[in-house]
Structure 1
């Protein structure tokens, strides 16, 4: 009797996993298509109309935009801004990832900026946007950041040509509800370690193919290259101060954001900036799959 009950329980659990994996695959693919379409429509609106109208049409009511060391409510900020039909901001996604449940994701890719549409490009960089479905099922911008390259770093701007959309759903099985607590504990553990040993923090928590964004640096998507880029920065400590976070319905995909104070190895200057970090539950542990830390050094006179 006990054997039969155990066999029945195993069968139910197995069917549940099969059912979830089928559901996850369908919702992931749908979510991926939707988020790429949303990003492309967003970029098209900026080109056809202007940046202000494009952002106001795509921002979530709680969406944040980043400038300097602070984040601001996007709708409130852009509502006060001027209409500028002469400037041209262009971009396109080269990377897109979403939760298995298709409700939260991010996109990233290169952008260029012209003060006037007929002028030459005066700014280069890579944007980084976190999206979340609203109550109507539409993807809206929750976080919008990015990194820039000064003009003397323009050779670093090498647009990628292949949209990276591959995902192994075998590593994306949704954890139980209490994994949302584990995510918060993991973020805290990472931030605590980054305040004393940044290299070890990233070595421990970066996924094998994380998207690393830093100003005036090539975007990296390989752990070895990621760690090399971080070591090159010569950071003694990151003090991350979280302002907010979010997690997918399936508890497999999450993000955090806030401000950061940076301590450098060979400088008394302590620049401030912001960070955006995306986590994914991979092989039964939380790993960083996208990370932006932006700060500016003071220019010596």
Structure 2
């Protein structure tokens, strides 16, 4: 596979140095916020806990739509008497070098039945607390994932970065444009070219693909090609070492057109921007075409 000059420039440009800090930020703060968020769910309900722990402009993606959290979970709506017991816990987490952006992901369960994995992006607030700005899910199998009592794996904090969050997002946009170009004919090769060694892929009903050796097999379960649109939103850390994006995706499955959204988490490493998390959220399939009712034959 031949990479274009654009992606070579983005991937191998010498990263900007990051100012020295007194200490490396600790992802434990993000993990603690996620656990507190989950612990509030039984008492506050799904709507109450989701609105308490999110920023006003936080988004969720599901059902083919991108919605503000308060539109998806209106705070004024009464709590359903038969609300299911939703639970989740982190088993992979990380934080930006600047300590202002982080993520966690792990299994989720509905009425004690594991149903997939969640993925949350967190941002530190002016008061030092944490609130999430994106929350989503995947149907990837959680059957063999570590339980709630386990400690999450922590992504190594980057020692590279960009000169500003805006510069970081511009660099990521260029890498994503090349990813989209190549994915239009060979999505497996396109993703493998930018996956981080410590990254994760959530693909269909499969267990999460963790580590480079498992990526190719997981990607083979996706369609051979995707049409990825430019990012519709996202954010980057102040250190320019971590960024997340989301946007529209289209593909074909069993001869039928499908649409949805991609969600990605990027980390700038010494070799350039690498994909730490990749998730595809399909929209509901289009309704099956129905044949018109046969007309009675003329007598």
Query: For this structure pair, what is the TM-score category when the shorter chain's length is used for normalisation?
Result: 0.7 to 0.9
Q: Report the counterpart of residue 110 of structure 1 in structure 2.
A: 107
- Give the aligned length: 266
Q: CA RMSD in A?
A: 2.5
Distance 1:231 1:297 in 2: 21
Distance 2:276 2:232 in 1: 19
Distance 2:155 2:226 in 1: 34
Q: Report the counterpart of residue 131 of structure 2 in structure 1.
A: 140
Which has the larger helix fraction? 1
Q: 1:246 aligns with which of 210, 231, 235?
A: 235
Distance 1:45 1:214 in 2: 29
Show CA shifts across 1:57-84 (max 9, x none): 0111110011122210002321164413
Whether the aligned pair in 2 keeps the contact of 1:64 and 1:72 (CA below 8 Å) is yes
Distance 1:21 1:215 in 2: 41
SS in 2 for 1:271: strand
Q: Report the counterpart of residue 45 of structure 2 in structure 1.
A: 50
Whether the aligned pair in 2 keeps the contact of 1:51 and 1:84 (CA below 8 Å) is no
User: Unaligned stretches of 5+ in structure 1?
Assistant: 1-15, 115-119
Q: Report the counterpart of residue 265 of structure 2 in structure 1.
A: 278
Distance 1:47 1:174 in 2: 39
Shift of 1:196: 2.6
Q: 2:209 aligns with which of 206, 217, 220?
A: 220
Identify the range of structure 1 (183-192 vs 40-49) with the bigger mean alpha-carbon deviation. 183-192
Whether the aligned pair in 2 keeps the contact of 1:69 and 1:259 (CA below 8 Å) is no
Q: TM-score, normalised by structure 1?
A: 0.80
Whether the aligned pair in 2 keeps the contact of 1:59 and 1:75 (CA below 8 Å) is no
Distance 2:92 2:159 in 1: 18
Matched, 1:69 2:64: yes
Whether the aligned pair in 1 keeps the contact of 2:93 and 2:153 (CA below 8 Å) is yes
User: Unaligned stretches of 5+ in structure 2?
Assistant: 1-15, 290-299
Shift of 1:21: 4.2
Q: 1:127 aligns with which of 118, 126, 130?
A: 118
Distance 1:207 1:283 in 2: 11
Matched, 1:33 2:28: yes
SS in 2 for 1:96: strand
Distance 1:226 1:240 in 2: 23
Q: Report the counterpart of residue 3 of structure 1 in structure 2.
A: none
Shift of 1:181: 2.5
Q: TM-score, normalised by structure 2?
A: 0.80
Shift of 1:277: 0.3
Q: Which has the higher contact order (CA 8 A, sep 6+)?
A: 2
SS in 2 for 1:197: helix
SS in 2 for 1:200: helix
C-alpha distance 280-38 of structure 1, shift in aligned 2 (>3 A)? same
Q: Report the counterpart of residue 11 of structure 1 in structure 2.
A: none
Matched, 1:93 2:84: no
Whether the aligned pair in 2 keeps the contact of 1:93 and 1:163 (CA below 8 Å) is yes
Whether the aligned pair in 1 keeps the contact of 2:93 and 2:155 (CA below 8 Å) is no
Shift of 1:221: 1.4
Q: Report the counterpart of residue 157 of structure 1 in structure 2.
A: 143
Whether the aligned pair in 1 keeps the contact of 2:168 and 2:243 (CA below 8 Å) is no
Shift of 1:206: 0.7
Shift of 1:50: 0.8
Distance 1:191 1:294 in 2: 17
SS in 1 for 2:226: strand
